[in-house]
Structure 1
Amino acid sequence: MRAYNKSRIVGQLLFVALGITFIYYLLTPSVHQSDAVKPQIRKANTDSIIVYDMNEITASANAREKKEEVLILTPIARFYPEYWGNLLRLSYPRNLITLGFIVPSSRDGTKVHRELKAAVQAVQRGPVSQRFADVKIMIQDSGLSSGQSETQRHKLEVQKERRSKLASARNTLLFSALGPKTSWVLWLDSDIVETPADLIDDMTSLDKDVLVANCYQRQGEKVVPYDFNSWIDSEPAKELASKMSKDEILLEGYREFATFRTLMAYSYDEHADKRTLMKLDGVGTTALMVKAAVHRDGAVFPTFPFYHLIESEGFAKMASRLKYDIYGLPNYLVFHYNE
């Protein structure tokens, strides 16, 4: 009986203790944020500041020897394995190359992104000596479709809108990927499937502000001109432009525009020196080497009619207005995919 009473007394004491504890927490005000223990604020690490002396960034005829960094930029709406294979055959040291891509955020773009990412990972997870310095992939709703055929893409009536969207994608890619140590920017279209392996060495060795290769296409045993955006201006073209409204663009390679410009595409001589230079007023971007300083100085791809030019041809006009020289290599061929 005494054991029973003892157990009952202990139980009653525990019940009273729990009750007192409950009333205490019920009546005690909650702790304010100002009364709580504050996390320590870490001082900024001044060692994390990186200073770049832009005066030391060179773009010279001795790019390889001076270890000048090259940024290869490609808007990509369709993944061509042949483009990637050709890119991997370039002989310039990969530790000096950064790749930049912009892919449309669409159903087609998802497939392109998956294919591109797999190709990139196969290289970047391989031997360190074979890896690129960096690879950047941008995804943006550019409005560019990968489902169009070559004929549809080149219809005159879609050129202004299409090339405006392409110019916008190029600018986004450029602004996002250009680094403070970049010396050269190589614009290489995603449907360029064959170039000389020494493309970067060859083009940088000529030490030009803007330099474009001649883009052809293989058709069986023949090679035929493909890109007509690299040209020398003419008086008839200037006269045509003078009669246009400010929102119109003058395009090359269409019967509707009798420009009589000298087209680099038709200046190819297979027996002549590949290093022959041709001063130009307009350029294409199939394989376009640009000193990074030209872009940093403000030469970009106009998304609107700029002196009646747009995108790559507008870029050439902008660069020339900034007093940079524009050149082409009429006998130096790169090849476009043949659909």
Structure 2
Amino acid sequence: MLRFSQHQKPSANLPLSHDFKPKKTRTSRKQKIGICVIVSIFLLLLWTRSGTSSKYDDDDDYSNIDNLVKDGSGSIKYDSDTELTDHDIDTISEASNEQYNLEIYDLNNYQGTPFAKDNEEIVLLCIPLRNAEKVLPLMFRNMMNMTYDHKLIDIAFLVSDCSEDDKTLETLFKYSEAMQEGKLLQLLDQEEKKSKDSGISGSSDLYLQYMPKDYIDNVKNAYSPPYHEEYNKPFRSVQVYQKDFGQAIGQGFSDRHDVKVQGIRRKLMGRARNWLMYTALKPYHSWVYWRDVDIETSPGDILQNLMKFSNGFDVIVPNVWRPLPTFLGNEQPYDLNSWIESEQGLELAKSLDEDDVIVEGYAEYPTWRVHLAYIRNPNGNENEIVDLDGVGGVSILARAKVFREGSNFPAFTFMNHAETEAFGKLTKKLGFKVGGLPHYTIWHIYEPSEDDLLQISTMERKKRRMRDRKGG
């Protein structure tokens, strides 16, 4: 693990991969004597305190325990009638170089509320990455655009199963370090300018010539100044993890969305999500926000907008659409994994084997469910929320207690589903409420399919012939 915050950054010599093991040491006679001295002093202080202060007597109801916990740092502060003298401190320091900390967390204080920003509630932002080098600039710009206090957001990245020639881990490290130093915007602007000045554009960028003009303008405006006051501020901490899970399915659009590989792919994704969540989640986190790397545009205040529904819901997701070239209709729903269960879906599940995974949105699995994406009205009330059974993984905000009390992303077939859709089902089984906002929309990037690219190539050849004729 590479971990650094705005106050700490890793050494340049720290390896990107890791397998650190503590060295075994032999306790010497002097160390044992020192430990005995520490224990004796500690017991003596406890005895002295119990005789001079009645604040924590045996019959006390410990109603002042909240005063011990100040924040998520693990620091404990309390008033005591007994103070350590300089002699006591020197004795303890000489006896041992070890530092013993006591951490107390009342998890009732980390439930997640609609007023999270005002209450300074800490968010864990989880982002899984695989072969994501190309879209990292987009992801970091979107993260910096979050208006929730950056000092209240811990970021945890998981880089897994990347190709040998992929530079996701190295690029992620570079951008994270620059972001925590307040230099990322300058770095990204320089790299973008360098790319434009080179005049190099690949065939994969041809689709931009066929995208709606308002889409191009919206993207441009989303990443242009003026920036809000949080934009360049470092986050509370950044953690980078690297672990492979054996995911061999390609990252191309057709590879990832082929119905034949969905069950296997999603179970492996469930393993990755669970590993990241269990590794990064701390007692002081009130919220966990899962976010895909390839979101193109998203409101800066998305966290606050989703959190305000937490009085009635424990998991909240927005609607997710994607832009399309004009010849394909300008836009379409993207995430069909957020849905309301149907009788047909339940009957379909009964007809399948226990280990079969229903893949929503495919003709092979006619569930006739109501999809969050398809009940969207561009002019609808953004504060409308509906109950959901399955959720998509592009953007999921959940109260941390959901995971602490047993929910996860099943890496096996659960009720004929896996990963995020199974997470929705499991979370409801545990008694939590899952909701979606049909008219509050974020936008995924457009990834041309092979058919789209063929059609664009055909149109480009036609344009070239027309130019040749005019020229002749």
Give TM-score scaled by structure 1 length: 0.85
Task: Measure, in 2, the Cα distance between the counterparts of 1:277 and 1:331.
Answer: 9
Q: How many Å apart are 1:106 and its aligned residue?
A: 4.3
Q: How does 1:181-200 map to 2 (within 5 A)?
A: 181-200=284-303
Equivalent residue pairs, number? 304
Runs of 4+ in structure 1 over 6 Å off:
none
Query: Which residue is equivalent to 1:5?
Result: none
Q: How does 1:139-154 map to 2 (within 5 A)?
A: 139-144=242-247, 147-154=250-257
Deviation string 1:204-261 (CA, Å, 9 cap, x unpaired) is 1111201111111012462210010000111111111001111111111101111100
Query: Which residue is equivalent to 1:217?
Result: 322
Structure whose CA Rg is larger: 1
Moved more, 287-296 or 71-80: 71-80
Query: Which residue is equivalent to 2:129?
Result: 76
Deviation string 1:264-285 (CA, Å, 9 cap, x unpaired) is 1111101111111011111001
SS in 2 for 1:40: helix
Q: 116, 126, 136: which one pairs with 2:182?
A: 126
The 1:181–1:108 alpha-carbon spacing in structure 2 relative to 1, beyond 3 Å, is farther
* Counterpart residue type for residue 55 of structure 1: N
Assess if the C-alpha contact under 8 Å between 2:128 and 2:273 holds in 1. Answer: yes
Query: Which residue is equivalent to 1:63?
Result: 116
The 1:135–1:183 alpha-carbon spacing in structure 2 relative to 1, beyond 3 Å, is same
* Counterpart residue type for residue 263 of structure 1: H
Task: Measure, in 2, the Cα distance between the counterparts of 1:194 and 1:84.
Answer: 12
Task: Measure, in 2, the Cα distance between the counterparts of 1:109 and 1:316.
Answer: 36
Assess if the C-alpha contact under 8 Å between 1:103 and 1:109 holds in 2. Answer: no
SS in 2 for 1:213: strand
Q: Does 1:322 pair with 2:430? A: yes
Q: How does 1:1-339 map to 2 (within 5 A)?
A: 38=29, 40-41=31-32, 42-43=34-35, 47-77=100-130, 78-79=132-133, 80=135, 81-104=137-160, 106-108=162-164, 111-126=167-182, 130-144=233-247, 147-207=250-310, 208-220=313-325, 222-339=330-447
Assess if the C-alpha contact under 8 Å between 1:58 and 1:68 holds in 2. Answer: no
Q: Which runs of 5+ in 1 are unaligned?
A: 1-33
* Counterpart residue type for residue 121 of structure 2: E
Task: Measure, in 2, the Cα distance between the counterparts of 1:74 and 1:287.
Answer: 10
Query: Which residue is equivalent to 2:226?
Result: none
SS in 1 for 2:411: coil
Assess if the C-alpha contact under 8 Å between 1:108 and 1:145 holds in 2. Answer: no
Q: How many Å apart are 1:322 and its aligned residue?
A: 0.5
Q: How many Å apart are 1:146 and its aligned residue?
A: 8.3
Task: Measure, in 1, the Cα distance between the counterparts of 2:243 and 2:276.
Answer: 10
- In percent, how many aligned pairs have the same letter? 32
Moved more, 38-47 or 301-310: 38-47
Assess if the C-alpha contact under 8 Å between 2:112 and 2:286 holds in 1. Answer: yes
Assess if the C-alpha contact under 8 Å between 2:250 and 2:256 holds in 1. Answer: no
Deviation string 1:70-126 (CA, Å, 9 cap, x unpaired) is 111111111312122111101100000011111115444861111111110001123
The 1:50–1:331 alpha-carbon spacing in structure 2 relative to 1, beyond 3 Å, is same
Q: Which runs of 5+ in 2 are unaligned?
A: 1-25, 39-97, 184-229, 448-472
Report the structure, 1 or 2, having the larger strand content: 1
